[in-house]
Structure 1
Amino acid sequence: MTTYIPNLTLPSFIFNSPAASILLPIALGTGVGYATQPRDNQRQYMSWKQPPLRPPPWIFGPVWTALYGMMGYSAYRAVHLGTSPLNMPHTISAAKHGATLYTIQLALNMIWMPLFFGLRRPVEATVDIVALLGVNGYLAWLWGTKVDEVSGWLLVPYIGWLSFATYLSAATGYLNNWDLRSHEEKARGKKGQ
């Protein structure tokens, strides 16, 4: 069982507002996406050896926006409904524990793109996304079985996409010998040796 850690959990006002819960992950995801220079990312992405079933780069923005919205609504439902004083103490506890897990998974989600595209660290990015997948699997189970079934089910598409993204992350790293630097960066690295 996880623990509710107030210092590692988003403020309760976010979870108690459907708009804030939904818009926060969308805004954070959009900000991280733009901060890592999307045009450069698309060029990089297309230059790497890719595994089968690789979607075109334009698909990621709409898919992630929808998933962030569902994730945010799931968090709103689980925490807002689960922490109602009319609930049993174990339901309130599970909702709060889930709020901490949700915050942790949001942080893990936000660091994947800078790891993979910004720093070009596919090993670390793959470790991050595997942890993200595990945390969300547990979170969906926790909220879905202990707090609100709908909240758990709302995370299922996210878990499905994370599974696919884990495959893409690991396979792209593997196919490129875990080195995603550009040809120019590799050449500069060889000159420095």
Structure 2
Amino acid sequence: MTTYIPSITIPANVLQHPAASILLPIALGTAVGYGTRPSETQKTYLALRQPPLRPPPWVFGPVWTLLYGLMGYAAYRATKTGLSPLASSETVQATRHGMTLYTIQLGLNLAWMPLFFAAKRPIEATVDIVSLISINSYLAYLWGNVDRVAGLCQIPYLAWLGFATYLCAGAGHLNNWDLSEKEVKKTDKQK
């Protein structure tokens, strides 16, 4: 079992507030998305050799917004239920462990796009996303024991992470794990 690490964990008062808990991952995901220059990311995505079933680039923004919101809602439900005055000490402990795992997985999630598209490091991005699946599988189990709905909210996220892992590893493999040649051509305005 993991440990509750207050210094790296999103504070309980943030996760126990529904709007803050839902909007935090959406805002952070949006910031990372725009920080990696969406037009350049889209061009790089289209320039890569991709495995079958690759969705068009416009799909990712709405899907991730929905998943970030669902992720935040799950965090709210688990934290609100698990830290209630009526919760057993085992439930409180599991909830606190889940809060730390949630914070770690959110950081790993936010690191994926810069790793893959900005740093052009598909191996590290694949390790990152496989770690995300592992952490979120355990988080679904932990939070499912605290609040069934919170655990079930992890299922779409886990499914998408599985598909995203296929796309990430597939693109890495099909491009010989080297994305450096997939540089976005700079226009005269960008120089």
1:104-151 Cα shifts (integer Å, max 9, x gaps)? 00000000000000000000000000001100010001110x200110
User: Given that residues 44 and 182 in structure 2 are in contact (C-alpha distance below 8 angstroms), is that contact kept between their aligned partners in structure 1?
Assistant: no
Query: How many aligned positions are there?
Result: 184
What does 1:174-189 align with in structure 2 at a 5 Å threshold? 174-182=173-181
SS in 2 for 1:120: coil
User: Given that residues 44 and 182 in structure 1 are in contact (C-alpha distance below 8 angstroms), is that contact kept between their aligned partners in structure 2?
Assistant: no
CA distance in 2, matches of 1:71, 1:18: 11
Query: TM-score, normalising length from structure 1?
Result: 0.93
What does 1:1-193 align with in structure 2 at a 5 Å threshold? 1-144=1-144, 146-182=145-181
The runs of at least 4 aligned residues of structure 1 exceeding 2 Å deviation read: 182-185
CA distance in 2, matches of 1:68, 1:48: 26
- Percentage of identical aligned residues: 62
Gaps of 5+ in 1: 186-193
Per the TM alignment, residue 182 of structure 1 is displaced from its structure 2 partner at its CA by 3.0
CA RMSD of aligned residues (A): 1.1
Query: TM-score, normalising length from structure 2?
Result: 0.94
CA distance in 2, matches of 1:150, 1:19: 17
CA distance in 2, matches of 1:74, 1:165: 20
Change in CA separation of 1:38 and 1:80 when aligned onto 2, cut-off 3 Å? same
Per the TM alignment, residue 80 of structure 1 is displaced from its structure 2 partner at its CA by 1.2
Q: Match of 1:169, as an amino acid?
A: C
Gaps of 5+ in 2: 185-191
Per the TM alignment, residue 12 of structure 1 is displaced from its structure 2 partner at its CA by 1.4
CA distance in 2, matches of 1:24, 1:127: 25
